[in-house]
Amino acid sequence: MDHRRSRTSATRRLFEEERSAEIVADSFADTPDPRLQHVMTSLTQHLHDFVKDVGLTVEEWEAAIRYLTATGQKCSDTRQEFILLSDVLGVSMLVETINNRSDGTATEATVEGPFHVVDSRPRELGDTIAEPGSGEPCLVTGRVLDRTGTPVPGAVVDVWQADADGYYDVQHETRPEYDLRGLFTTDGNGTFWFRTIMPRYYPIPDDGPVGELLEKTARHPNRPAHIHFEVSAPGFRTLTTHVFVADSPYIDDDTVFGVKASLVREFTQVDDPRRAAAAGLDNPFRTVDFEVVLGA
Amino acid sequence: MDHRRSRTSATRRLFEEERSAEIVADSFADTPDPRLQHVMTSLTQHLHDFVKDVGLTVEEWEAAIRYLTATGQKCSDTRQEFILLSDVLGVSMLVETINNRSDGTATEATVEGPFHVVDSRPRELGDTIAEPGSGEPCLVTGRVLDRTGTPVPGAVVDVWQADADGYYDVQHETRPEYDLRGLFTTDGNGTFWFRTIMPRYYPIPDDGPVGELLEKTARHPNRPAHIHFEVSAPGFRTLTTHVFVADSPYIDDDTVFGVKASLVREFTQVDDPRRAAAAGLDNPFRTVDFEVVLGA
């Protein structure tokens, strides 16, 4: 590159502690994409503020370099350690939230998570997504509405969840068919219902740098029990969210900060052989109703 | 881990955009090491402030995850891409500076850089560190002083530099002996002097993610010409710094922000056969005087 090329900025970029962020930000003055320039300028300012606020030592900086390197090198085709790091620092939830702000009427979003990796099988309303006898029976019912409360017929409700041991189907080494996933379509009243088992809370992968961070900060690696929902219909913004089990361990301490108060539901205990038989479930069972309001 | 274990904090960590950093910071409440808790709390606050300030999109977050992953995976035994990233964001210089603050009398520090990887050979004052005829001749003179201006005899002055093509010895594939390095000891007057050639400006490695960032932000990868100094003496803090060549390309635009105004020196042209002969150099030559003041 020709060192004589002109620069937009005529600033002499001589380093000074007080003006450090300003000097670095100035080096981005010629960035062709104004959005990239804005993002890099802000990132520089916040990074420098952080280093100054804590008075980062050389040893801490070296530890940070080693940590980021190890995090990158832990990544593979089946493992994304930087997403996990973003998750446990609440950054993933923050990005999800600011990009899917609710107007207070639409159902709130939460993170998609790493397990939406196979297509859910289309199923009939009332079908079970669980193998019989594989856990505590559960009936899930709900409706999809627009923000005026009008039902949305024909909405596609994609659900997936962990099993009674806290594992997703794809985490089992051998499994003939994927289960605990289903693709349902709401009926003429915007209603959906299906049978399943109670999901269990589970730990995120903690045998890498993120697990080391959790260990050193006395944090546990667990997420409270939940069922994932992705709900879509023509003319609406697709919603990615969870319904959380109110009495699950870790309900108030999700290690990825995915729980929003509006997404927690009681999974009610039912001990009624007639209702169980009508639903096609063993008695007793649990049930939850989850009303989904789609935004535009 | 037992989910019933007690927590210091009784906060329910349900996610809210407005309180996001506070909620995540609270999850570090039980960190045994108070310094680690302080650093993680501050990091969380600044990260969340950054995401909110720019309104980071999901696509940008995904690009950041990919970028950090590629940076980690570019690292090897001979390449540290995260240090390069820290360098071009001015973070390395900031950390170096806040950990080696001058009181205004001691010589300022700058980054050590990645090329201080072999021990410099001990040499006699006046020796040359360059192969004869390998570049523009240069005489370097100087003194080591304490902050009261008293000379420091017996100070060890370790110097290393790039050659006339901008390469360090270790960057050449075959080189029988390392050169352009020397370990000198100041005489009874705190004086040192040696012969060398003029160093050239050079690019940092730019064939990885850091090079991609520089390209996308229209930044060049170059550092202005400089000679590295590491000066140590019993009872003083070891100083790691450079002396920069005032008329070098990029002198006001070092891609790693290593230049401080106090470290720039004129390398004066001398056309005087008698002075050249006295110094043991071909005529004409360049010369610089660098007075180093050690701090406590």
CB contacts, 8 Å: A18 with chain B: none
Residue pairs between chains A and B whose CB atoms are closer than 8 Å: 252
pLDDT for B21-72, tens place per residue? 999 999 999 999 999 999 999 999 999 999 999 999 999 999 999 999 999 9
pLDDT score recorded for residue B278: 94
Determine which of A35-39, A77-81, A153-157, B199-203 has the lowest per-residue pLDDT on average.
A77-81
Annotated active-site residue B167? The verdict is: no
| Chain B residues near residue A70 by CB distance under 8 angstroms | 72
Using alpha carbons, list the distances in angstroms from residue A130 to A115, A179, A243. 17, 6, 17
Contact A180, A169 (CB under 8 A): yes
Contact A259, A224 (CB under 8 A): yes
Pick from A20, A21, A82: CB nearest B68: A82
Which residue among A24, A31, A218 sits closest to B89, beta carbon to beta carbon?
A24
- For residue A122, list its beta bridge partners: A183
The single-letter DSSP state of residue B166 is S
The mean predicted confidence, pLDDT, of chain B is: 93
pLDDT range class, residue A40, cuts 50, 70, 90: very high
To 5 degrees, how large is the angle CA A152–CA A181–CA A232? 25
pLDDT at residue A56 is higher than 60: yes
Q: What is the pLDDT of residue A1?
A: 41
- Cβ distance of A47 and B91 shorter than 8 Å: yes
Closest CB from B65, B92, B257 relative to A86: B65
Q: Do B222 and A3 touch (CB under 8 A)?
A: yes
- Average pLDDT of B79-105? 94
Handedness of CA B245, B249, B255, B261 (dihedral sign): positive
Is B168 tagged catalytic?
A: yes
Nearest chain A CA: its distance from B296 CA (Å):
18
Specify the pLDDT at position A170. Answer: 85
Q: Is the dihedral of CA A51, A54, A56, A59 positive or negative?
A: negative
Mean pLDDT to the nearest integer, A53-70:
98
Closest by Cβ to A56, choosing from B82, B83, B95: B95
Say which of B32, B39, B252 has its CB closest to residue A54.
B39
pLDDT for B171-193, tens place per residue?
887 765 678 999 999 999 999 99
Query: pLDDT value at position A2?
Result: 43
Tell whether the model's pLDDT for residue B141 goes beyond 80: yes
Of B223, B242, B265, B286, which one is the catalytic site residue?
B223
Most confident of A104-108, A264-268, B117-121: A264-268
- pLDDT at position B132, please? 82
- List of chain B residues whose C-beta atoms are within 8 Å of the C-beta of residue A12: 252-253
Mean pLDDT of all residues in A243-258: 97
On the question of pLDDT at A296 being above 90, the answer is no
The band of B119, judged by pLDDT with boundaries at 50, 70 and 90, is confident
**pLDDT for position B296:** 85
At A53, list the tokens.
């606020």
Interface test with A, best of B51, B67, B204 (most A CBs within 10 A): B51
Whether B65 and A82 lie within 8 Å, measured CB to CB: yes
Which residues of A have a catalytic role annotated? 168, 202, 223, 226, 228
A179 band by pLDDT with thresholds 50, 70 and 90: confident
> Which percentage of chain A shows pLDDT scores above 90?
85
3-state SS, residue B221 = coil
**Mean local confidence (pLDDT), B223-250:** 97
Q: Which residues of B touch A250 (CB under 8 A)?
A: 3
Please compute the mean of the pLDDT values over residues A87-108 and round it to a whole number: 93
Answer whether B73 sits within 8 Å of A68, measured CB to CB. no
Q: How distant is the Cα of B228 from the closest Cα of chain A, in angstroms?
A: 17
Percent with pLDDT over 70 in chain A: 95
Cα–Cα dist B201/B197, whole Å: 13
% pLDDT > 70, chain B: 95
Q: Which domains does chain A have, with CATH numbers?
A: 20-88 (no CATH), 101-293 (2.60.130.10)
For A2, residues 6+ apart whose C-beta sits below 8 A from its C-beta are: none
| pLDDT the model gives residue A9 | 58
Q: Which residue has 């992953």 as its token pair?
A: B69
The confidence score (pLDDT) of residue B4 equals 39
- B204, B92 Cβ separation under 8 angstroms: no
Sheet containing strand A191-197, strands side by side: A191-197, A137-145, A285-293, A268-270
Say whether B71 and A72 touch across the interface (CB within 8 A): yes
Q: If we measure between CA atoms, which residue out of B278, B280, B290 comes closest to residue B143?
A: B290
Q: Which of B228, B242, B265, B286 is catalytic?
A: B228
Q: Which residues of B touch A99 (CB under 8 A)?
A: 57-58
Q: How confident is the model at residue B11 (pLDDT cuts 50, 70, 90)?
A: low
Q: Is the pLDDT of residue B212 over 80?
A: yes
Facing B54 at nearest CB: one of A17, A42, A75:
A42
Name chain B contacts of A258, Cβ cutoff 8 Å.
15
Predicted confidence band at A8 (pLDDT cuts at 50, 70, 90)? low
ipTM score? 0.92
What pLDDT was estimated at residue B154? 97
Q: How confident is the model at residue A61 (pLDDT cuts 50, 70, 90)?
A: very high
What 3-state class would DSSP assign to B85? helix
Instruction: Find chain A residues with C-beta within 8 A of B61's C-beta.
Output: 86, 91-92, 95
Q: Most A CBs within 10 Å: which of B9, B50, B252, as the mutation test of the A interface?
A: B50
Residue A7: pLDDT over 70: no
Record: contact A23-B257, CB cut-off 8 A: yes
Residues of chain A with C-beta less than 8 angstroms from the C-beta of B53: 42, 46
- Please, which pLDDT band fits residue B10 given cuts at 50, 70 and 90? low
**Mean pLDDT rounded to a whole number for chain A:** 93
> What's the gap in Å between the CA of A273 and the closest CA on chain B?
33
B119 compared with A49, residue with greater pLDDT: A49
CB A193 within 8 A of CB A73: no
**pLDDT tens-place string over residues A194-233:** 999 999 999 999 999 999 999 999 999 999 999 999 999 9
The pair of three-digit structure tokens given for residue B178, joined into one six-digit string: 């390392």
pLDDT-derived band of residue A114, with 50, 70 and 90 as boundaries? confident
pLDDT of residue B113: 86
Whether the per-residue pLDDT at B13 is higher than 90: the answer is: no
